[in-house]
Amino acid sequence: MSGKYGKRSKDGRDSMRGTKGENKFGGRGGASSLAGVPVAVGQRVECEIIGLTHEGEGVGRVEGYTLFVRDALPGERVRAEVLSIGKSFGRGRMTEVLDAGVSRRVSPPCPIYDSCGGCQLQHLGYAEQLKWKRRHVVDNLARIGKLPVAGETREMIEGSGEGERPPVIVHPTIGMDEPWRYRNKAQVPIGFGDGGLIGGFYEMGSNDIVEMDACLIQQEENEETVRAVKEAARLLGVSAYNRATGRGLLRHVVVRHARTTGQRMVVLVTNGRDIPHAQELIGLIRERVPGIASICQNVQTAATPVVFGDETHVLWGEEVIYDEIGGIAFAISPRSFFQVNPEQTVRLYSKAVEYAALTGTETVVDAYCGIGTISLFLAKHADRVYGVEIIPEAIEDARRNAAINEIANVEFAVGAAELVMPRWQAEGITPDVIVVDPPRKGCDPALISTMLELKPERIVYVSCNPSTLARDLRLLEDGGYRTVEVQPVDMFPHTGHVEVVCSLIYKGLE
Ligand SMILES: C[S@@+](CC[C@H](N)C(=O)[O-])C[C@H]1O[C@@H](n2cnc3c(N)ncnc32)[C@H](O)[C@@H]1O
């Protein structure tokens, strides 16, 4: 075995798959042996795998010492080579499965799974992935949130300090019937290979880009678009960005596909404004990409792994493409957040609407609203919805989305939710329901304080990170709320990520 087993995980933030694995697979740096640590770097050890991290590493134990072993699965006994050690844990690579035990190991269908860090769980059967994602949520709620979870062990409930409160119901993860080819967006880093310009994904643990033509979790249209753009760039001699020297033009190709309208968008992220042969490049992309509706340029000159810079403009076509979710049309601009799995998004948002339990008379706040997706879903069932979002273009899209869907009972504001909410509070806006859908770092503490002052009857919390979710639920519980139901939704099959939607109720009203 090679590739995935022998290399560090990469930061996949801007990979073709666009998943968010972190670079944590150790490496050979640091001490080769440490006092009190029962393993040494380079040693081969046998270990039982008793759990799985959110990055898909098996959690092994060697004489009580924790060894994270990439690609090993719970229930297995494996042989692993130790790659790095620290005082409390180390990292290793699996060299052999000694006993598969009860693990549900499957053969990953993707031919480059070994070297690409975009997916972490293709080697685990899909039904088991769904179970594991629920387990991951439960563990975080119990460990970080100190919440009692229905049907779970007493040890988990102990220490919650919750007394006789009803336990939280954590439902089974909602999965996909066909968990492949779901992503509507690809972010492809561009670099140099032997034959010139290449684009695909970062090799694990390095900034080396590996050419990739196919990715089984991408919609095929995105693969086709990326291929066409790379070919056009090669034909015209467009230079690829060199991450070591900061020279070269094309840094990333970002493509989106709107399944309901067939429209496609290409964003060329460039290291500078001037694109030589720009008109020829645009011409070739238009000729070779069916459904192309928008070609944009984003300028990013900083030496940073962040994909987009602040300057975006249209090179050809529209400034947005249109897609539809649950019968609502959405305009999507190059930098706006739009859920990447449209099929599961309908399920996620429908749950959020269900948990909001609206009757038509309520005032609702949608914090971290993006392009107004959840706001517009809620507006049909509420008296008035207020959405707040930090990216100005996203709010432009949100307002446009309200207009094209003829939804008049929504209002959007640009700004940090933690700053805008107190302003609304001062203006006398008192929400009956607050929906939050923050980025991975969770809600700003100031926003939580304002929510606790406003005391809405219900809070609906949508999260892509179970650990910050659990932290925030604890704060909300301490402030007078009870977490009632938690629904994990598999928005990112074959990766370690899980989306969660939760309902909370103000205890004073129970
Ligand atoms: C997970 S996305 C959710 C977007 C939207 N609810 C959806 O489902 O499409 C989080 C959003 O929060 C925005 N954001 C990040 N920090 C923010 C802040 N402090 N205040 C308001 N919005 C913020 C991001 O730009 C992003 O659009």
**Is 158 part of any domain?**
no
Residue 56 region, left (φ>0) first, then alpha (ψ -120 to 50), else beta?
left
At 370 the pLDDT is: 95
Reading the block at residue 94, the tokens are: 């699996």
Among 120-129, 151-160, 350-359, where is mean pLDDT lowest?
A: 151-160
Atom of ligand 1 nearest to the CA of 391: 25
Any domain includes 125: no
Answer whether residue 256 is part of any domain: yes
Q: Are 222 and 255 in contact (CB under 8 A)?
A: yes
Q: Which domain holds residue 84?
A: 22-99
419 lines ligand 1 (CB under 6 A): no
Residues 215 and 316 in one domain: yes
Q: How far is the CA of 369 from the centre of ligand 1 (A)?
A: 6
Q: Would residue 330 count as lying in a domain?
A: no
Q: 370 and 320, same structural domain?
A: no
Alpha-carbon distances of 318 from 47, 332, 396, 443, 452, rounded to whole Å: 56, 10, 14, 34, 42
Q: What is the CATH number for 71? A: 2.40.50.140
Give the number of C-alpha atoms closer than 13 A to the C-alpha of residue 470, restricted to the C-beta side.
Answer: 20
Structure tokens belonging to residue 180: 């492949």
pLDDT band for position 204 (cuts 50, 70, 90): low
- Residues involved in catalysis: 464
Tell me the mean pLDDT in the region 226-253.
96
Q: Which atom of ligand 1 is nearest to the CA of 336?
A: 27
Q: Is 339 in the pocket of ligand 1 (CB under 6 A)?
A: yes
Q: Is the CB of 389 under 6 A from ligand 1?
A: yes
Whether 292 is in a domain gets the answer: yes
Question: Is the pLDDT at 472 greater than 90, yes or no?
Answer: yes
Looking at 99, 124, 141, the residue that finishes a domain is 99
The CATH number given to whatever domain includes residue 415 is 3.40.50.150
DSSP lists the bridge partners of residue 58 as 52, 69
Q: Is 462 inside any structural domain?
A: yes
Do 478 and 357 share a structural domain?
yes
Q: What is the distance between the alpha carbons of residues 74 and 76, in angstroms, rounded to a whole number?
A: 6
* CATH number, domain with residue 216: 2.40.50.1070
Q: Is 13 exposed, middle or buried (0-12, 13-18, 19+ CB in 10 A)?
A: middle
Beta bridge partners of 461: 436, 502
At 62-80, the pLDDT tens digits run 999 999 998 899 999 999 9
Largest CA distance in the chain: 70
Cα(440) to centroid of ligand 1, in Å? 10
Q: Identify the residue with better confidence: 137 or 111.
A: 137
Q: Which of 293, 325, 357 is the last residue of a domain?
A: 325
Q: Are the C-beta atoms of 490 and 171 separated by less than 8 Å?
A: no
> Is residue 228 one of the residues assigned to a domain?
yes
Which pLDDT band, with edges at 50, 70 and 90, does 157 fall under? Answer: low
In this prediction, residue 8 carries a pLDDT of 31
274 assigned binding-site residue: no
Closest by Cα among 182, 193, 188 to 229: 188
Q: For residue 358, how far is its CA from the centre of ligand 1 (angstroms)? A: 22
Q: What is the pLDDT of residue 163?
A: 58
Q: Which residue has its alpha carbon closest to ligand 1 atom 7? A: 370
Alpha carbon of 81 to ligand 1 centroid (Å): 41
Provide DSSP, 76-121. -EEEEEEEEE-SSEEEEEEEEEEE-TT--B-----TTTTTB-S-S-
Q: How far is the CA of 469 from the centre of ligand 1 (A)?
A: 15
Q: Which pLDDT band holds residue 113 (cuts at 50, 70, 90)?
A: confident
Mean pLDDT of all residues belonging to the chain: 90
Residues 184-198, mean pLDDT to the nearest whole number: 91
Same domain, 372 and 457: yes
SS3 65: strand
pLDDT of residue 100: 87
Q: Domain for residue 157, yes or no? A: no
The structural domain count of the chain equals: 3
Nearest atom (ligand 1) to Cα of 417 = 20
Q: Are residues 312 and 369 in the same domain?
A: no
Opening angle at CA 115, ends 111 and 116, nearest 5: 85
Quote the pLDDT of residue 11: 28
Q: Which atom of ligand 1 lies closest to the CA of 388? A: 21
CA 299 to centroid of ligand 1, rounded, Å = 22
Determine the 3-state secondary structure of 486 from DSSP.
Answer: strand
Candidate of 338, 390, 396, 501 to mutate for ligand 1, largest count of ligand atoms within 8 Å of Cβ: 390
Cβ-based burial of 111 (10 A; exposed 0-12, middle 13-18, buried ≥19): exposed
Both 32 and 80 in one domain: the answer is yes
Judgement on whether residues 235 and 305 belong to the same structural domain of the protein: yes
Do 135 and 149 touch, CB atoms closer than 8 A? no
The pick from 256, 368, 393, 468 for probing ligand 1's pocket by mutation, whose C-beta has the most ligand atoms within 8 angstroms, reads 368
> In the predicted model, what is the mean pLDDT of residues 398-411?
97
For ligand 1, say whether the CB of 369 is within 6 Å of any of its atoms.
Answer: yes
The percentage of residues in the chain with a pLDDT greater than 90, rounded to a whole number, is: 79
More confident residue, 354 or 11: 354
Contact 340, 185 (CB under 8 A): yes
Give the residue, out of 353, 374, 376, 389, with the most ligand 1 atoms within 8 A of its beta carbon, to mutate for a pocket test: 389
- Out of 73, 99, 125, a domain closes at 99
What does the CA dihedral 146, 129, 123, 57 come to, rounded to 10 degrees? -10
Q: How far apart are the two ends of the chain, measured CA to CA in Å?
A: 57
355 and 272 co-located in one domain: no
* 346/321 same-domain check: no
Residue (of 192, 208, 197) closest to 15 by Cα position: 208
Q: Once rounded to an integer, what is the mean pLDDT over residues 352-357?
A: 98
Sign of CA dihedral 434, 405, 295, 287: positive
One domain for residues 430 and 493: yes
| ipTM of the prediction greater than 0.90, yes or no | yes
Residues 506 and 456 sit within 8 Å (Cβ to Cβ): yes
What CA–CA distance (Å, rounded) separates 396 from 198? 34
- SS3 at position 56: coil
Residues 308 and 371 in one domain: no
Tens-place pLDDT, residues 486-496: 999 999 999 99
Question: Any idea what DSSP says for residue 414?
Answer: E
**What atom in ligand 1 is closest to the CA of residue 349?**
8
Nearest of 54, 72, 305, 271 to residue 202 by alpha carbon? 305
Do 60 and 191 lie in one domain? The reply is no
Partners of 69 in beta bridges? 58, 92
Q: Which residues pair with 295 in a beta bridge?
A: 266, 316
